[in-house]
């Protein structure tokens, strides 16, 4: 199922394993909690998850944590952002535990971190980041404030000598 958030939704926190897609569009106000993640889509199930965010004239911002956080235990993770995202920590953090693909696309607008990387992606599998807008991070690693982290097999459950 698809969950669509419009209007002035406040912080978005999706943990229902049945939801596979989160659409954010037609906002009438910023999404901007003082603490915690502004948008969180977390599944402990086995499915892939997708966030499509088009904030228009409004912004996603978090004074205390991440702008957008997407994580799946064993499915692919895809985040597309059109609009501005500002966060205290990562602007967009997309992560997968099992090694399924993770992708982040900044279609337009800017993604900014005040203290860390604008975009952080993590998986033992394929990683893809596309920046059509701008990505700026105070502690940025790599190009354009983007940090890619591929889990080492030993840390991801592998044994020494494999």
pLDDT value, residue 146: 47
- Mean predicted lDDT score pLDDT of the chain: 85
Confidence of residue 22 (pLDDT cuts 50, 70, 90): very high
pLDDT > 90: percent of the chain: 58
Six token digits for residue 119: 């975009």
pLDDT in tens, 41-88: 998 777 899 999 999 999 999 999 999 999 998 899 999 999 999 999
Query: Is the pLDDT reported for residue 143 higher than 70?
Result: no
Query: Is the pLDDT reported for residue 152 higher than 90?
Result: no
E strand or H helix that includes residue 99: none
- What is the rounded distance in angstroms from the CA atom of residue 55 to the CA atom of residue 28? 9
- What is the rounded distance in angstroms from the CA atom of residue 35 to the CA atom of residue 64? 4
């Amino acid at each position: 199922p698809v969950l669509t958030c419009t209007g002035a939704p406040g912080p978005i926190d999706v943990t229902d394993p049945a939801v596979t897609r989160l659409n954010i569009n037609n906002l009438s106000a910023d999404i901007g909690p003082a603490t915690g993640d502004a948008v969180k889509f977390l599944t402990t199930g086995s499915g892939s998850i997708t966030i499509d965010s088009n904030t228009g004239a409004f912004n996603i911002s978090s004074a205390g944590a991440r702008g957008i956080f997407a994580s799946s235990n064993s499915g692919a993770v895809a985040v597309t952002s059109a609009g501005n995202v500002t966060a205290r920590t990562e602007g967009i953090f997309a992560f997968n535990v099992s090694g399924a693909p993770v992708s982040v696309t900044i279609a337009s607008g800017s993604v900014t971190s005040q203290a860390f990387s604008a975009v952080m992606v993590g998986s033992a599998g394929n990683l893809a980041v596309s920046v059509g807008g701008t990505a700026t991070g105070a502690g940025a690693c790599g190009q354009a404030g983007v940090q890619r982290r591929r889990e080492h097999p030993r840390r991801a459950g592998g044994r020494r000598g494999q």
